[in-house]
Chain A
């Protein structure tokens, strides 16, 4: 069983979705960080996007 503690002491590798400043701050500290090119999904309708995701498996 995986435990929360498994992350403690491990190198943090961060995916940032949203405000780019957070990603830039991490890179400034030499933390591995990648910014996702995120935009609102499927015409801005999150329910439709979920439905689409479910249909696509």
Chain B
């Protein structure tokens, strides 16, 4: 085996570009392993694991671009190397060729006067610096980066609030301002429902369902998952509620979050009671509903319920054609599926790319099978010893930090979840598989196509063994998304998956099958 290492000092590409190029390079004829990455210590670990570490790459510094290829022949290495620049500089679809990229805020503002919004997704340790510069230049910020400290978050948010700006994040995956989807986001109708949320895919799910139920979104403000902690005190959440309350286009406000620190939720509810006359729907996913009801606002248990209540309160006049299964219909599917299973099939496995979708599923499943094992469990006792090894009833969030070190988010790179799906489906004690497919901007170009292929392979293997396994999918997205929800749904259904109308219903159906065993 030959290993070739090329170091290019001072050349920089973003992590998603590098991962996509790495994947494509690995698929070249004759190439055994390949990696294109920046020379950080973490990335050197990746090289070590894949057997690509050489004295040259070991000596690389974080500002070095490292290209490492192993192959059987020198010819294969040379051929692959010749393609690297093409892979790194390919465009995502646009044909605008070389365009001007400013190197500083000053030159950006000269090139495009009036820049008023900044999306930041650089590695966490550089994020505060860029975010502060954006705020100082009077831009609202969506801070996608994670690994930003709480102290940095507090400093940025305090500055933003004092200057009438929003700092959405850190670790904020989605937002919609003036009907423009930002980050991972779906294309939904413009309308009268405003949203502020600390739960990325939770917000996407509610926006998508509001759209499908005939409603629309005025603004959707993300806060980042830590905003409602004691230390941050809900700064962005309170700014968001105030802004939506003052916005004449917003008739109904939806608030989505995992249960906040009690002191903060009390503060937030007190603010709403005191200041907000507009209808408000609050979903503290799995949290206490009584405190919400006590201030005269609507509480929701699931994301689906939050969407339905918001649409009702917004008095949307258009009628929706989106059909959602009722309990009887789900029970009928569950009974039919349970009959096809063998006695040894007794566990369910959920493989998620959306953190909030995984969380909501575990809450719904609790009523059917009790607490399930997870890398992000509801109950600490159910934490998987090793997130790579599923056990009993189990839901894994593959978007959690432990899976995204040196790898793109599973909504972008489906490889890991595909592998785990194929592993789990082969296990004879597995009875049901749950999968979420999140589409929209920022995500994989055809996730349903990828999984449809895997589902077909799995079904063929099962048939040979004389077995059946229900694969329940939920697609979070709309027909206006680039991947088109209807086309994605058809691909999965053609492959034999059961596609359900909301994440909560998908989990409910899985629970019903488990109960019927």
Measured CB to CB, the residues of A under 8 A from B are 1-29, 31-32, 34-41, 43-44, 46, 49-50, 53
Interface stretch, picked from B125-133, B386-394, B500-508, is: B125-133
B296 / chain A contacts, CB cutoff of 8 Å? none
A17-B119, A22-B121 known; A12+B112 contact, CB < 8 A: no
From residue 101 to 118 of chain B, which have CB atoms closer than 8 A to chain A?
Answer: 101-105, 108, 111-112, 114-118
Stretch at the interface among B14-22, B66-74, B362-370: B14-22
Q: List 7 A-B contacts (CB under 8 A).
A: A12-B178, A15-B119, A18-B14, A27-B94, A37-B103, A38-B12, A39-B63
Q: Is the interface of B mostly helix, strand, loop or mixed?
A: loop
Given contacts A4-B164, A12-B117, A43-B63, contact A38 B246 (CB under 8 A): no
Chain B positions within 8 Å of A28 at CB level: 93-94, 482
9 closest A-B pairs (Cβ-Cβ)? A18-B121, A2-B164, A37-B101, A39-B12, A4-B243, A44-B62, A25-B441, A24-B92, A19-B121
A49 CA to B129 CA, complexed, in Å: 9
| Of the residues A14, A17, A32, A35, contact of B130 by C-beta under 8 Å | A17
Q: Are B121 and A17 in contact (CB under 8 A)?
A: yes
Given A2-B164, A7-B117, the answer on whether A40 and B101 have CB atoms closer than 8 Å is no
Q: Which A residues are CB-close (under 8 A) to B119?
A: 14-18, 22-23
Please state if A20 and B17 are interface contacts (CB–CB under 8 Å): yes
Please name all residues of chain A whose beta carbon is closer than 8 Å to the beta carbon of B91 when the two chains form the complex.
Answer: 24
Contact check, A36 vs B17: say whether CB atoms are below 8 A apart: no
Q: Which of B117, B129, B145, B239 has a CB less than 8 Å from the CB of A15? A: B117
Q: Which of A6, A20, A31 contacts B180 (CB 8 A)?
A: A31
Contact A7 B102 (CB under 8 A): no
B263 interface residue per 8 A CB criterion: no
Please measure, in the bound complex, the distance between the C-alpha atom of A51 and the C-alpha atom of B133, giving whole angstroms: 14
Given the complex, which residues of B lie within 8 Å of A17, measured CB to CB? 118-122, 130, 134
Min CB gap A54→B, angstroms: 11
Measured CB to CB, the closest approach of chain A to B169, in angstroms, equals 12
Give the complex CA separation of A32 and B108 in angstroms. 12
Known pairs A7-B140, A17-B130. 14 more at Cβ < 8 A? A4-B165, A7-B116, A7-B177, A8-B178, A8-B219, A21-B16, A29-B181, A31-B180, A34-B100, A39-B10, A39-B12, A40-B62, A44-B61, A49-B129
| Cα distance A21–B398 in the bound complex, in angstroms | 21
B166 at the interface (CB under 8 A from A): yes
User: Is B246's CB under 8 angstroms from A18's CB?
Assistant: no
B123 within 8 A of A: yes
Neighbouring A residues of B183 by C-beta, 8 Å: 22
Contact A13 B115 (CB under 8 A): yes
